[in-house]
Amino acid sequence: MCSSVAVSTLVVTTLLDALKREVAFHTRHAARLRTWISAHDGSLDSAVACLYERFAPDPARTIEGDAEAPRPDLAQYRRDIAAALRSGLTGPHDTEFWGQWTRLGRIHVAWEVPQHALAAAMSRVCVALRNLVDDSMETAHAERDEVQDALVRVVALELAVMLSAYADEASLQRRQQERMVALGHITASISHELRNPLGVIGLSVHSLSKRVGQDAVAARHLARISAQVNHCSAIVKNLLAFIRDEPAERRALDLTRLAAESLDDVAIPPAIRVDTHLELRQPARGDYLLLRQAIANLLRNAVEAVGDAPGQIELRVVAADGEVTVSVLDSGPGFDATILPKAFEPLVSGKRLGTGLGLTLVKRAAERLGGSVRAENRLVGGAEVAICFPHA
């Protein structure tokens, strides 16, 4: 039985072989390029600069004007281009070659470089390399033509690999959109079905509260029921706000109370020890109910991950350096390697009976607060999921 790594390598090799056939890039072309570059390796710098200068200014200006976008590491970008171009000329044109050019393609997708601009830039690279060949092989006309032919083919192969990243990204976005549509339908349906029963429960509690008289125990239980009904109603409201994409509230937050009430919302077995760590060096503002729901979702996930065995959960809340970070750590088995990269996508779950909505709602809550989320497996075992958002 093939391992996942072997299957992945097989898929990449198959795709790469298909692209080689498309551009008619053969072993003789690879050998011709290796021979030429072995004598002119230092000449690559100008070709690297050609591609670098085509893209570097635009992403820098675009990203500097957009606080939401990741900032490019242009020095690393240039090193990546140099390594990829050298890989194309020296070979082997294998899975490592594929990985280098796929990474560059994804960088250009993230920087929103249009495909036509990418094709134009690679055309300029091809011209720059062919000029180098002309300068280095002025008299060897037959050999020069062979090298230039090989250059055209390998640049076409490199461009094809990069454009495959665009296709992958488009496919991913389409799947996410389909899941978001499905999530919207599910959310609207659940919200509609819950509103009426919650209303009936609320009215019944109100009627009963007038009849319990001096029965303190009954009054206390009715008050708890009423509080939970109100909390459920708030969750329904947040679900509807999620599909309507309403902005989050910005009010002063009592983070100590938030941590305590989020823990109260979750049934935690006696075998699981819960530690709370608060580091509140700055005041914070945000949407209290939205955060409470998100933290409760993280805590429920942690409880389910630990299971029935003795374990530990830690809730950390840190308000410092201009942002608030809420982390939930558990001693469970951690995320499955196939689930972790897409843990926050809608309808993705590693649990047998999971809906795949919990972490999606957590991510949406963070985004509505202008923040982000992360999930990772801990070196000591278990998982950590964190919400991070600006404190003001």
Set out the domains of the chain in order of their start, with CATH numbers. 4-170 (1.10.490.10), 178-244 (1.10.287), 251-390 (3.30.565.10)
d(CA 301, CA 330): 9
Angle between helices 141-209 and 115-136 (to 10 degrees): 160
Stronger pLDDT, 331 or 247, i.e. the higher one: 331
- Cα dihedral 83, 85, 89, 94, rounded to 10, equals 70
Tokens coding 369? 């607060």
pLDDT of residue 28: 92
Cis peptide before 283 (omega within 30 of 0): no
pLDDT of residue 213: 76
Most confident residue range from 44-48, 173-177, 227-231, 362-366:
362-366
What is the pairing mode between strands 383-390 and 372-377? antiparallel
d(CA 119, CA 124): 9
Angle between helices 216-244 and 141-209 (to 10 degrees): 150
Tokens 């692209």 map to which residue? 19
d(CA 140, CA 134): 9
Largest Cα–Cα separation, the chain: 108
pTM: 0.49
* Backbone phi, psi, residue 20, to 5°: -60, -40
Nearest alpha carbon to residue 239 among 185, 199, 202: 185
For the stretch 9-65, pLDDT in tens is 777 788 888 999 999 999 999 999 988 888 776 666 666 666 666 555 454 443 333
Stronger pLDDT, 117 or 170, i.e. the higher one: 117
- Categorize the per-residue pLDDT at 73 as very low, low, confident or very high, splitting at 50, 70 and 90: low
In a 13 Å sphere around the CA of 338, the CA atoms on its Cβ side amount to 8
* 67: pLDDT strictly greater than 70: no
* 182: pLDDT strictly greater than 80: no
Helices and strands, number each (H, E), in the chain: 12, 7
- Categorize the per-residue pLDDT at 239 as very low, low, confident or very high, splitting at 50, 70 and 90: low
Q: Which residues of 205-231 are buried (b: 16+ CB within 10 A; e: fewer)?
A: beeeeeeeeeeeeeeeebeebbeebeb
pLDDT of residue 78: 77
d(CA 286, CA 371): 11
pLDDT of residue 238: 59
Amino acid letter, residue 387: I
d(CA 157, CA 92): 13
Amino acid letter, residue 371: G
d(CA 270, CA 306): 12
d(CA 232, CA 266): 13
For the stretch 100-115, pLDDT in tens is 898 888 888 777 778 8
